[in-house]
Chains A and B, each alone.
Chain A
């Protein structure tokens, strides 16, 4: 799951957006329940890590369990290929101009 020492692709990125699919079941651990409550609206893995005060690597382990149990959905980040899509860059520029 996590990028290994040789840098293989991680399935969960810091900016993967996580959304809860269900309320915490009675069987959920306190960590899982806390995480599910945090992702009732889409939230990045980085934000989960910040609010839970848990390292990214620990959050990815917890998320792996929640994904396997189909309690959360992961919305994958747009990753840079060799170079990003121009229309994506233009969208980001327009967004920044409105700041």
Chain B
């Protein structure tokens, strides 16, 4: 373990401390391919500068997926960026960005455990990553919405076409966003929360 000397460890800035009243936290996961804008989205709504937690792909990861092969003989470090939004004095929301490619699914066990839900962030230039992610979330029973990050050079598809291309059920929200903008990223999170709320309401009626 390459532990830095305790004198050199930077801690949170005083203004980044949570209040002592903070009692509990919830989390939302933003999942998508590399370069799709996960960290941008986390950063645009986070009250702290996005931080990075790392996990090493070790023996624990092998066997989770059939696709792990000889390339995992050497340990690989996978970084997850995350941010934080204080909801009340007692409640804190954390947002985690995680890569969507199948070889990183070993990260998902602890990550999606107890998460409120997920945002699948999509780049229309590379839709293929999204198919597997959506299938996997459905298998795990994680509620999610789909957000299409607008890239200036990305092809524009009408939402109904994207819904068909992604084979997305009618009830699952899909919206366009600009992950660089706080208001737009917040709208994506609100869309997820409203969707979760509608699921909870439907469950209460059932």
Question: In residues 24-39 of chain A, which contact B (Cβ within 8 Å)?
Answer: 30-31, 33-34, 37-38
Q: With contacts A14-B27, A75-B24 known, is A55 near B18, CB below 8 A?
A: no
In the complex, what distance in Å separates the CA atom of A99 from the CA atom of B113? 26
Closest chain B residue, CB of each to CB of A52: B9
Contact assessment for A93 and B22 in the assembled complex, using a CB-CB cutoff below 8 Å: no
Report chain B residues within 8 Å CB of A68: none
Partner-contacting stretch, out of B90-98, B120-128, B158-166, B172-180? B90-98
Chain A min CB distance to B183 (Å): 8
- A78 proximal to B (CB < 8 A): yes
Q: How large is the interface on A (under 10, 10 to 19, 20 to 34, 35 or more residues)?
A: 35 or more
**What string of 1s and 0s marks CB contacts (under 8 Å) between A69-99 and chain B?**
0000001111110111110111111111101
- Greatest chain A CB density within 10 A among B12, B114, B143, B203 is at B114
Q: Note all chain A residues with C-beta closer than 8 A to B96.
A: 14, 46
Q: Contact between A38 and B88 (Cβ–Cβ < 8 Å)?
A: no
Report the interface size class on chain B.
35 or more
Considering the complex, which residues of chain A in the window 2-48 have a beta carbon less than 8 Å from any beta carbon of chain B? 2-5, 7, 9-10, 13-17, 19, 30-31, 33-34, 37-38, 41-44, 46-47
Q: Which residues of A contact B51 (CB under 8 A)?
A: 46-47, 50-51
Q: B53 to A93, Cβ gap below 8 A? A: no
The reply to whether B194 and A79 contact each other, CB–CB distance below 8 Å, is no
8 Å CB contact of A14 from B3, B5, B9, B94: B94
Q: Is B168 interfacial (CB 8 A cutoff)?
A: no
B 12-36 to A, binary, CB cutoff 8 A, 1 in contact else 0: 1000011110111111000000000
B60 and A5 form a contact (CB under 8 A): yes
Interface flags, B110-142, vs A, CB<8A=1, else 0: 110111110000000000000000000000000
B156, CB-defined interface residue at 8 Å: no
Chain A residues, CB < 8 A from B67:
none
| Contact yes or no, A49 B53, CB < 8 A | yes
- Sample (26) of A-B pairs whose CB atoms are under 8 Å apart: A2-B60, A4-B60, A13-B114, A14-B111, A17-B24, A17-B92, A37-B6, A41-B17, A42-B18, A43-B12, A49-B54, A51-B9, A52-B9, A53-B54, A56-B55, A57-B56, A58-B1, A76-B24, A82-B203, A86-B200, A89-B193, A92-B26, A93-B194, A95-B85, A96-B189, A99-B85
